């Protein structure tokens, strides 16, 4: 038999077998679940160690922050980075600063979803046990209000707070003269007439001061609503104040 005869007698190749799609669907589902899981883990790590969102429930920080604003807080301050006078910080209630607040009304499913999204950092923390104020005094600072010109002084140096104080609001209508203990902060709201801050909690635990250990982090940006988007940097109002410039 010749080579030519052999090629003629060979059976013609049949149609290619159809690919099974079940494996492709399972693979796609597995990949989707993996991507979602990784995204949640990354979000949880970011929330735990780097960033966290918070909701502004009151007018105590106007005109810097309005009711309903969402701010992003860096957890690297205090820690790797120092806190400075003028920083806006979120901290846990030192004890008795906040009254009872009504929990938001959600159904069972809504509560589970909201709790899960908050846990991984995709929704802002509620403000039931957190406050947001501006750092005025660091450990060791002597903070007084007010001098003959009605200005707040830190370490005997007058501070011009016009960059952030609410319009038409005095630095303080309540006189005080305090020295900040080691490991604590003296904090005040920008809307001094509507802020139950260090001045009004001197009969509470810690005497109105905030332990640095209770500080969640420094607020560095307003991210919602979009028309309010802005950076929350450290103002230069305290640059001339002598003494310690940062605290961890």
Q: Is the C-alpha dihedral spanning 179, 71, 231, 65 positive or negative? A: negative
Q: Is the C-alpha dihedral spanning 69, 88, 133, 43 positive or negative? A: positive
165 is written with which tokens?
A: 């104080």
Of 47, 75, 77, 133, catalytic = 133
- How far is the C-alpha of 170 from the C-alpha of 150, rounded, in Å? 8
Say how many residues make up the chain: 248
Q: Is 13 exposed, middle or buried (0-12, 13-18, 19+ CB in 10 A)?
A: exposed
Active-site residue, 172 included: no
- How far is the C-alpha of 196 from the C-alpha of 185, rounded, in Å? 15
Burial 150-161 (b: 16+ CB within 10 A, else e): ebbbbbebbbeb
From the list 101, 120, 103, the residue with the least C-alpha distance to 111 is: 103
- How far is the C-alpha of 230 from the C-alpha of 65, rounded, in Å? 10
Active-site residue, 60 included: yes
Of 47, 60, 172, 195, catalytic = 60
- How far is the C-alpha of 82 from the C-alpha of 138, rounded, in Å? 11
Indicate which residues carry an active-site annotation.
60, 133
């Amino acid at each position: 038999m010749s080579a030519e005869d052999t090629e003629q007698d060979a059976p013609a190749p049949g149609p290619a077998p159809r690919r099974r799609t079940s494996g492709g669907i399972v693979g796609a589902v597995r990949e989707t679940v993996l991507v979602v899981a990784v995204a949640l883990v990354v979000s949880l790590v970011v929330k735990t160690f780097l960033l966290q969102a918070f909701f502004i429930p009151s007018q105590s920080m106007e005109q810097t922050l309005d009711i309903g604003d969402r701010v992003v807080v860096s957890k690297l301050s205090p820690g790797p980075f120092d806190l400075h006078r003028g920083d806006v910080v979120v901290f846990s209630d030192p004890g008795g600063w906040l009254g009872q607040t009504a929990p938001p009304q959600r159904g069972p499913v809504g509560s589970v979803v909201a709790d899960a999204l908050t846990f991984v950092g995709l929704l802002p923390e509620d403000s039931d046990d957190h406050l947001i104020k501006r750092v005025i005094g660091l450990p060791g600072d002597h903070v007084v209000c007010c001098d003959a010109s009605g200005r707040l002084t830190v370490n005997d140096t007058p501070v011009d707070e016009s960059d952030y104080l609410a319009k038409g609001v005095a630095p303080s209508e309540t006189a005080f003269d305090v020295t900040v203990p080691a490991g604590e902060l003296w904090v005040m709201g920008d809307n001094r007439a509507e802020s139950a801050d260090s001045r009004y909690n001197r009969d509470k635990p810690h005497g109105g001061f905030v332990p640095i250990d209770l500080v969640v982090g420094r607020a560095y940006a307003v991210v919602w609503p979009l028309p309010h988007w802005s950076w929350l940097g450290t103002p230069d109002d305290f640059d001339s104040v002598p003494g310690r410039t940062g605290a961890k």
